[in-house]
């Protein structure tokens, strides 16, 4: 799309963000409510010499983007709940093999087939722990079509920088919301580090200072071996306790030590608040309205909006909540991120406002909750 102002849905904005940052490979399987991303990629990618391939299922989609990434393309897939479950297996492979790629999950009502066309936020913990094993991952959470564009760009950049799959955790409401989206002339583009060393001495999994190894691609003459097995710095299977300890620690630490650079949030009226709303995605929009109404009534409410869910902004939230009496967490599920909030916020009392039924909280609902707290 040409630079400038557009009127786009979150799903389309996400696809355009991917194209702007250099994504040239999309493998996916249709699923509501994410399908528009695949459709738009099928239309747009050939125009920019990119590849769209519709795979036979989400297992294959995830495997194909990892393969394409090792072939040198920036690659992504997009899905929703049931498809996200199927992708977990190879998300683990991408973590273990440190393969840059982006996975978009436009969350819908769940469990199981649940509410295919309606909103949900039930995959928050799955985004964090969905694949087996100890690992760290990055998950971003946009709350507007503009942010779907911006955070998709960021998702690719983080994924290239840290060599980790990055999950863009959208929700149906944001995915289907139409708003103005500004597409800039240029976006920041980060590319994976390439090895400069002599091909014979190159160790594909030898970390650099930031704990991230340089990435040689297939076909470049490095003769790399890449395995989902525990491996040494040469990439060879090494299923001994020392190798496992070393690898798992590094895979986790490369995200943990860089957390400050990854974490991103928006704070609204944090300084003087007695009540803090912690929200992400669609409920952060209705929370904003509730906040304004509450302020009019003299209730001092602040909003801590997470743009990065994983890694969780512990320190930042702890600081923002240190002087509040109440922390209110509206989520479109029966309580997920609230567990992290409870873990982190030691001062005020934490309240969950759950929401099921495939609907977004109304501003009134949240406002009434705030008013009742202040009675």
Partner 1 sequence: MMQAQEHPLEKYLRVDRLPHVWCPGCGIGTVLGSYVRAIDRLGLDLDKMAMVSGIGCAGRAAGYVNMDSFHTTHGRAIPFAVGLKLAKPELIVTVFSGDGDLFAIGGNHFIHAARRNCDLKVICVNNFNYGMTGGQLGPTTPLGAKTTTSPYGNLELPLNLPYFAASCGSSYVARWTSLHARNMIECFEEILEKKGFCFVEILSPCPTVYGRRNEMPEGLDMMKLFKERCEIRNFEDTSRVGLNQEKIIIGKFVDEEEKETFEDRVYSLMEEVKWGGSR
Q: Closest distance between partner 1 and the C-beta of residue 267, in Å?
A: 40
Q: x/- site string to partner 1, residues 160 to 199, per CB under 8 A? A: ----------------------------------------
Burial annotation 325-338 (CB, 10 A radius, 16+ → b, else e): ebbbbbbbbeebbb
Q: What token pair was written down for 140?
A: 């971003």
Burial annotation 355-374 (CB, 10 A radius, 16+ → b, else e): beebbbbebebbbebbeebb
Distances (CA, A) of 43 to 34, 39, 176: 15, 6, 18
Q: Are 217 and 191 in contact (CB under 8 A)?
A: no
Query: Which residue stretch of 30-38, 148-156, 222-230, 282-290 sits at the interface with partner 1 (rule: CB under 8 A)?
Result: 222-230
Distance of CA 272 to the CA centre of its chain: 30
Q: Are 153 and 20 in contact (CB under 8 A)?
A: yes
Rounded distance between C-alpha atoms, residue 171 and residue 180, angstroms: 18
For partner 1, the closer of residues 4 and 111 by Cβ is 4
Distances (CA, A) of 268 to 167, 208, 372: 25, 37, 21
Q: Are 166 and 158 in contact (CB under 8 A)?
A: yes
Distances (CA, A) of 331 to 201, 204, 293: 51, 41, 20
Query: Which residue stretch of 40-48, 152-160, 162-170, 287-295 sits at the interface with partner 1 (rule: CB under 8 A)?
Result: 40-48
Rounded distance between C-alpha atoms, residue 98 and residue 207, angstroms: 11
Helix (H, G, I), strand (E, B) or coil at 323: coil
Which one-letter DSSP state was computed for residue 231? B
**236 touching partner 1, by CB under 8 A:** yes
Query: Which residue stretch of 8-16, 161-169, 215-223, 322-330 sits at the interface with partner 1 (rule: CB under 8 A)?
Result: 215-223
**7 touching partner 1, by CB under 8 A:** no
Q: x/- site string to partner 1, residues 291 to 330, per CB under 8 A? A: ----------------------------------------
For partner 1, the closer of residues 47 and 372 by Cβ is 47
For partner 1, the closer of residues 67 and 348 by Cβ is 67
Q: What token pair was written down for 228?
A: 């989902």
Residues β-bridged to residue 138: 166
Q: Closest distance between partner 1 and the C-beta of residue 56, in Å?
A: 4
**50 touching partner 1, by CB under 8 A:** yes
Q: x/- site string to partner 1, residues 53 to 92, per CB under 8 A? A: x-xxx-xxx-xxxxxxxxxxx-x-------------xx-x
Q: Closest distance between partner 1 and the C-beta of residue 19, in Å?
A: 12
Q: Closest distance between partner 1 and the C-beta of residue 73, in Å?
A: 4
Q: Closest distance between partner 1 and the C-beta of residue 201, in Å?
A: 13
**332 touching partner 1, by CB under 8 A:** no
Query: Which residue stretch of 51-59, 78-86, 267-275, 295-303 sits at the interface with partner 1 (rule: CB under 8 A)?
Result: 51-59
Instruction: Catalog residues that contact partner 1 under the rule CB under 8 A.
Output: 25, 27, 43, 46-47, 49-51, 53, 55-57, 59-61, 63-73, 75, 89-90, 92-93, 217-229, 236-237
């Amino acid at each position: 799309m040409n630079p400038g102002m557009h009127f786009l849905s979150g799903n389309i904005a996400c696809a355009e963000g991917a194209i702007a940052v250099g994504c040239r490979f999309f493998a996916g399987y249709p699923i509501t409510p994410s399908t528009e991303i695949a459709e738009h990629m099928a239309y747009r990618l050939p125009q920019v010499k990119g590849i769209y391939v519709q795979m036979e299922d989400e297992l294959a989609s995830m495997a194909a983007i990892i393969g394409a990434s090792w072939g040198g393309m920036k690659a992504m897939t997009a899905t929703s709940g049931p498809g996200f479950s199927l992708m977990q297996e190879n998300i683990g492979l991408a973590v273990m093999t440190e393969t840059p790629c982006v996975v978009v999950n436009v969350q819908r009502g769940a469990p199981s087939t649940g509410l295919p066309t309606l909103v949900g936020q039930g995959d928050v913990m799955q985004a964090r722990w969905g694949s087996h094993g100890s690992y760290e991952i990055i998950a971003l959470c946009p709350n507007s079509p503009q942010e779907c564009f911006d955070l998709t760009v960021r998702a690719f950049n983080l994924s290239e920088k840290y060599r980790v799959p990055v999950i863009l955790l959208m929700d149906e409401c944001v995915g289907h919301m139409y708003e103005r989206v500004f597409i800039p002339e240029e976006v920041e583009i980060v590319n994976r580090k390439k090895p400069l060393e002599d091909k014979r001495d190159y160790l594909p999994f030898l970390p650099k200072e930031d704990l991230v190894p340089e990435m040689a691609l297939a076909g470049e003459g490095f003769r790399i071996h890449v395995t989902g097995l525990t491996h040494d710095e040469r990439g060879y299977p090494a299923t001994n306790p020392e190798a496992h300890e070393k690898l798992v620690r590094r895979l986790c630490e490369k995200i943990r030590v860089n957390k400050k650079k990854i974490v991103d949030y928006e704070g609204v009226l944090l300084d003087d608040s007695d009540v803090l709303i912690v929200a992400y995605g669609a409920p952060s929009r209705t929370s904003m309205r509730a906040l304004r109404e509450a302020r009019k009534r003299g209730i001092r409410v602040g909003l801590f909006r997470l743009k990065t869910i994983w890694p969780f902004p512990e320190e930042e939230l702890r600081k923002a909540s240190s002087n509040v009496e109440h922390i209110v967490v509206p989520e479109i599920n029966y309580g997920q991120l609230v567990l992290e909030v409870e873990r982190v916020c030691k001062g005020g009392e934490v309240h969950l406002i759950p929401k099921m039924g495939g609907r977004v909280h109304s501003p009134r609902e949240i406002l009434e909750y705030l008013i009742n707290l202040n009675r």
